[in-house]
A and B are shown apart, each in its own frame.
Chain A
Amino acid sequence: MILDSCTIILLAKASVLEKASESYNIKITSPVQEEVLEGKKKMFPDALLLERLVNEKKIKIVEVPLEKMHKMMQDFNMDKGEASVIARGLQEKELVGTDNRQGRKAARVYGLDLIGSIEVIVSLQKKKKISREKALEALSILQKEGWFSSYLIEQAKGDVQ
C-alpha cells in the first residue's frame, strides 16, 4: 500500500505506524517523505519516527511516475506529496492510503482502492497484530485529533473485537 503524509502522521500519532509497517508492505514516495520530515525542524515525533522506519527499511521509498504526478497536481490542485501517491496508485494499481479530502476525491475519480488510518488500526487488531486495548487507545487518539467524525470512530470501536 502507498500512504500519503496525512495517513503517516495520523498512524504515528496513534502509535501504530511501526506495527503497521511490520504487518503491511508500506510504501511512500520521496515527496511524501519530504513533507513529513519537514516536521523535524519542529521536533514532531512523527517526522523522527518516519525517518527511523525508512532507515530501518520498514517503510520503502518508491519511484513516482512524474507525468501522472504533474497531471494530478494540475487537475486536483495538489502538491507533490498527495499527487505522487495518487499517480503511483494509478500506475502500479496499488492500494492508496489517504485521509486527505482531495486525495480521496482523486482516488474515487480514478476508481482506486482506497483506505484510511482508521481501517489500518481496525485491521491490525483483527489480524491480532495489536491488542483490543491498543486498538481502542489508537482510535481514541484519532478521535482527540479531531480529524474524524465521532460517529465513524465509534463504528470502528464497535468493530474492534
Chain B
Amino acid sequence: MSEVEFLGARMEKEIIEMVEDTAQEEHIDKTKALKELIILGREQYLLQKYLQLYQQGKCSLDKAAKMAGLTVHEMMQEAAKVGMQSEQTIEEYRRGVQLLG
C-alpha cells in the first residue's frame, strides 16, 4: 500500500456499526476494518460491473477478468455462478462438428 492520506466522511449510524462489528469480529481496529470493507466492496463492485458488461456483450471475458482483478478461470466461474451461459446455438454446434470432420 502507498502513502497514507486522511479522508473524513460523515456516515449513518448503521454503517458505523458495520465497521465496529467487523472490527470486533476480526479482532482488528476500526481503521483496518474500514479499509478491509472498502477493498472488499470495491472488488465486489468491479466484479458486478464487468460481469454486467460481459453479459451485455460490451466486453470480452478476458477483458472483464482483467478489469475485475481476476484470472480468466475465476471469471468463468463467477459468470457461471450467476447463470451466464454461452449463447452458442445448435446450428453453430452442428457446423462446428462438421468443420472438425
- A residues sitting closer than 8 Å to B (CB atoms) are 4-6, 9-10, 24, 35-36, 38-39, 41-42, 44, 46-47, 76-83, 95, 99-105, 113-116, 118-120, 122-123, 126-127, 145-149, 151-152, 155-156, 159
- Tell me whether B37 is interfacial, beta carbon within 8 Å: no
Q: How far is the CB of B70 from chain A (nearest CB, A)?
A: 9
Q: Which residues of A contact B73 (CB under 8 A)?
A: 9, 36, 38-39, 42, 44, 46-47
* B72/A6 in contact, CB under 8 A: yes
Once the chains are docked, how many angstroms separate the CA of A127 from the CA of B59?
36
- Tell me whether B58 is interfacial, beta carbon within 8 Å: yes
Q: How far is the CB of A23 from chain B (nearest CB, A)?
A: 10
Within 8 Å by CB of A147, from B57, B74, B76, lies B76
For B, the interface residue count at a CB cutoff of 8 angstroms equals: 33
Once the chains are docked, how many angstroms separate the CA of A100 from the CA of B20?
42
Once the chains are docked, how many angstroms separate the CA of A126 from the CA of B41?
48
Q: How far is the CB of A94 from chain B (nearest CB, A)?
A: 11
Please classify the interface of chain A as helix (H, G, I), strand (E, B), loop, or mixed, using the class held by over half of its residues.
helix
- Tell me whether B28 is interfacial, beta carbon within 8 Å: no
Q: How far is the CB of B72 from chain A (nearest CB, A)?
A: 4
User: Beta-carbon contacts of B60-101 to A below 8 Å, as 1s and 0s?
Assistant: 111101100001111010011101011110101101110111
Tally of A-B Cβ pairs under 8 angstroms: 133
Once the chains are docked, how many angstroms separate the CA of A24 from the CA of B15?
57
Q: Which residues of B contact A116 (CB under 8 A)?
A: 86, 88, 92-93, 96
* B97/A123 in contact, CB under 8 A: yes
* A102/B60 in contact, CB under 8 A: yes
Q: How far is the CB of A79 from chain B (nearest CB, A)?
A: 4
Within 8 Å by CB of B62, from A35, A127, A152, lies A35
Q: How far is the CB of A146 from chain B (nearest CB, A)?
A: 4
Contact status of A35 and B57, CB under 8 A, knowing A104-B87, A147-B85, A159-B97: no
* B96/A35 in contact, CB under 8 A: no
* A38/B72 in contact, CB under 8 A: yes
* B81/A146 in contact, CB under 8 A: yes
- A35-B62, A44-B73 given; name 14 further pairs at CB < 8 Å: A6-B76, A35-B65, A39-B72, A41-B71, A42-B71, A77-B53, A95-B99, A104-B87, A118-B88, A119-B96, A123-B100, A123-B101, A126-B97, A147-B79
